[in-house]
Structure formats: structure tokens, C-alpha cells
Amino acid sequence: MSSTFYNEILTEHNIRPFHKHPMEGANFQLEGVNPSCGDDIILSLKVNDDGVIEDGAYVGDGCAISQASADMMLDLVIGKTKDQARRLADIFLRMIKGEVTEEEKQELQEASVLQDVSHMPARVKCAVLGWHTMEEILNGKNDMEA
């Protein structure tokens, strides 16, 4: 994948993030923090009784990679079941480690451009922040219950 395409996708998700806004009606919310660089997001999800992620959003501040990755993640998981979202998170995290098949990588759609972050160790935590935060929500952690 060309670096131009990578930069275009990253820039687009930073200038016009579709999912970066406060969200009404969320039933799951969790803060994710990357203390090494200061990335900080609050991820909100609305999950229905059938376990389908009906909506999602995030607010917060951080580098271009953390913000774009969270936005791309929400593009992928809205409309999916919690199990499908967990599977996509697993694929993404394995992609960052270089342990994914080409077929699995294709399932990540635009988020697959972040594969090259694996060659930038300082940026890995930025790319995975939203994904780890979503995994924590899907595995039972929820700031809204506190």
C-alpha cells in the first residue's frame, strides 16, 4: 500500500472524523488513555439487547494515528455483533504484530492501512488505543456503571 494512500486515509479521518462527537443514548462508555504520549479517548457504544452495536462515538484528544484508528474502528464495528467486533479487534491487534493473513487483513478495510505502524514501536500504542478500549467494554468494563 502506498504511503500516499496511507496519508490520505489518515488525514481524512482526522480532518473529518465521522464518529468523533458526544453520543446520547450510549449504554457503554469507557476512557482509554495512552500515558506514554497523552492520547485520551472516551469511547461510547450503544449495544442493543441482541448484542448488536447500534451506534458508537468517541471524544478526546490525541495524535493523528489514535484518532483515525478509533474512527476507522467504529466504521467497522457499528452494525456488528459484539462477537464480530471482538473478532475484528483480534484481527487488528494481530495485524499490528504481523500475525495476520491477507484475507483477515482485508476484513479490516481502511483500518488495514495502519499495518505499517508495526514498524514504528512508539506509535503502536496510539493505533491500538481505541481497539483495546472497545475490547475492555465488550469484555464487561463500563464506566457508566461506576
pLDDT in tens, 6-27: 678 888 888 899 999 999 999 9
Cβ of 18: how many Cβ atoms within 10 Å? 13
Cβ 43 vs Cβ 130: under 8 Å:
yes
Alpha-carbon distances, residue 6 vs 9, 17, 19, 134 (angstroms): 5, 16, 19, 23
- Decide if pLDDT at 49 tops 70: yes
**pLDDT band, residue 37 (cuts 50/70/90):** confident
pLDDT band per the 50, 70, 90 thresholds, residue 3: low
126, 118, 120, 138: CA torsion to nearest 10 = 10
Residue spans of alpha helices (H) in the chain = 3-15, 64-77, 82-96, 102-107, 121-138
State residue 82's pLDDT score: 97
Over residues 62-119, the pLDDT tens digits come to 999 999 999 999 999 999 999 999 999 999 999 999 999 999 999 999 999 999 888 8
Instruction: Provide the 8-state DSSP code for 74.
Output: H
Q: Is the pTM of this model over 0.75?
A: yes
Domains within the chain, CATH numbers bracketed: 3-145 (3.90.1010.10)
Closest among 105, 56, 104, 109 to 78, alpha carbons compared:
56
Residues in the chain: 146
